[in-house]
Amino acid sequence: MVGRCGALLAPLADAIGKHVKAALKIHADDIPIPVLSPGNGKTKTGRLWVYVRDDRPWADPAPPAVWFMYSPDRKGERPLGHLKDYHGILQADGYAGFNRLYETGRVVEVGCWAHVRRPFYELSVAGDSPIAREALERIQALFAIEAQLRGRSAEERRAVRQARAGPLLDDLYRWFHSTLSELSRKSPLALAIRYALTRWKALTRYRDDGRLELENNAAERALRAVALGRKNFLFLGADSGGERAAAIYSSIGTAKLNGLNPEAYLRYVLERIADHPINRIEELLPWNVTPELAAQHALAA
């Protein structure tokens, strides 16, 4: 049943992917998923990649969407293939496989401050580290500014960031450099600081563009459904199952982002998609069926 559902939803997932890739900016991440390896009864590790379009934080009216793709490995050629026709901005973690996209010259890298913050938080929790605590406090100040800017225009976000976050970033850069010179090269703190410094240009792009985010949480939130789903099954039966799972996750995730009940939306789509003209598949996207689903809900009530 799940396999047939995923196969039916594949054209819809393609339409979601097209919408996502039309965005100025995409959030990206990936997650491992166990897949049965044919012939030996063992499992291998496949990957589900997620690409998110969500510009609601700067009040853009375009509908948000989440597009999943499956691959049997985590090679850099996978995101390169998924986004082969994409021109824009990619906000992601420091995964080296994304570098091939940046090297094309058509994709601009934007870093994630949540990934910078994480090791300092872990070090501050693990023991008495004044340096980790100070780094965490400095980074938290950047997040505090962002909390006040959600939903404001891109122009206002840029102006506030340049005025308030700009000086904090400059000071943090100097502090990172001076602190690094006092640390053992292979210490966890040194590694955490170098992670930030080697990505500084990508990490500070958000300051001068109100359409960008401080972090990549949009992608991480989209992956939570996969993380929860893995608790309910041992493995996917084959690579084809991974592709169908990606179509289902794309449909459910996009429905949720647009405020729809995923079960009601899937029922609506599956009742129609087999006979729906493929060249009009966009008519079944969540933001195009919302009024009819709302009317059905009202009648049922």
Do 233 and 84 lie in a common domain? yes
Q: What mean pLDDT is reported for the chain?
A: 92
Do 24 and 82 lie in a common domain? yes
Q: What is the pLDDT of residues 43-76, one digit of tens each?
A: 888 999 999 999 999 999 999 999 999 999 999 9
Asked if residue 206 belongs to a domain, the reply is no
Please, are residues 293 and 260 in contact by the beta-carbon 8 Å criterion?
A: yes
Domain ends where: 174, 200, 226? 200
- Give the pLDDT score at 43: 85
Asked if residue 207 belongs to a domain, the reply is no
Do 183 and 100 lie in a common domain? no
Asked if residue 11 belongs to a domain, the reply is yes
Do 50 and 91 lie in a common domain? yes
Asked if residue 209 belongs to a domain, the reply is no
Domain ends where: 200, 235, 269? 200
Do 261 and 228 lie in a common domain? yes
Q: Which domain holds residue 56?
A: 2-110+216-300
- Give the pLDDT score at 230: 61
Local confidence band at 295 (pLDDT 50, 70, 90 cut-offs): low
- State whether the Cα torsion 256-262-264-269 is positive or negative: positive
Local confidence band at 301 (pLDDT 50, 70, 90 cut-offs): very low
Asked if residue 210 belongs to a domain, the reply is no
Number of domains in the chain: 2
Percent of the chain scoring above 70 in pLDDT:
93
Mean local confidence (pLDDT), 282-297: 83
Do 93 and 221 lie in a common domain? yes
Q: Which two tokens stand for residue 124?
A: 């501050």
In this predicted structure, the answer to whether residue 129 has a pLDDT above a threshold of 90 is yes
Domain ends where: 166, 200, 234? 200
**DSSP H or E run through 45:** strand 43-53
Do 89 and 153 lie in a common domain? no
Do 11 and 30 lie in a common domain? yes
Mean local confidence (pLDDT), 105-123: 97
User: Which of 58-62, 187-191, 293-297 is predicted with the least confidence, judged by mean pLDDT?
Assistant: 293-297
- Give the pLDDT score at 229: 64
Sheet containing 88-91: give its strands across: 65-71, 43-53, 25-36, 88-91, 107-110
Q: What is the pLDDT of residues 211-245, one digit of tens each?
A: 999 999 999 999 998 877 665 565 677 888 899 99
Do 290 and 163 lie in a common domain? no
Local confidence band at 277 (pLDDT 50, 70, 90 cut-offs): very high
Dist CA 129 CA 154 (whole Å)? 37
Do 142 and 88 lie in a common domain? no
Do 105 and 121 lie in a common domain? no
Asked if residue 175 belongs to a domain, the reply is yes
Asked if residue 295 belongs to a domain, the reply is yes
User: Which of 158-172, 185-199, 217-231 is predicted with the least confidence, judged by mean pLDDT?
Assistant: 217-231
Please, are residues 132 and 120 in contact by the beta-carbon 8 Å criterion?
A: yes
* 239-257 and 286-300 helices, crossing angle to 10°: 70
Asked if residue 255 belongs to a domain, the reply is yes
Do 81 and 126 lie in a common domain? no
| Burial grade of 247 (CB within 10 A; 0-12, 13-18, 19 or more) | buried
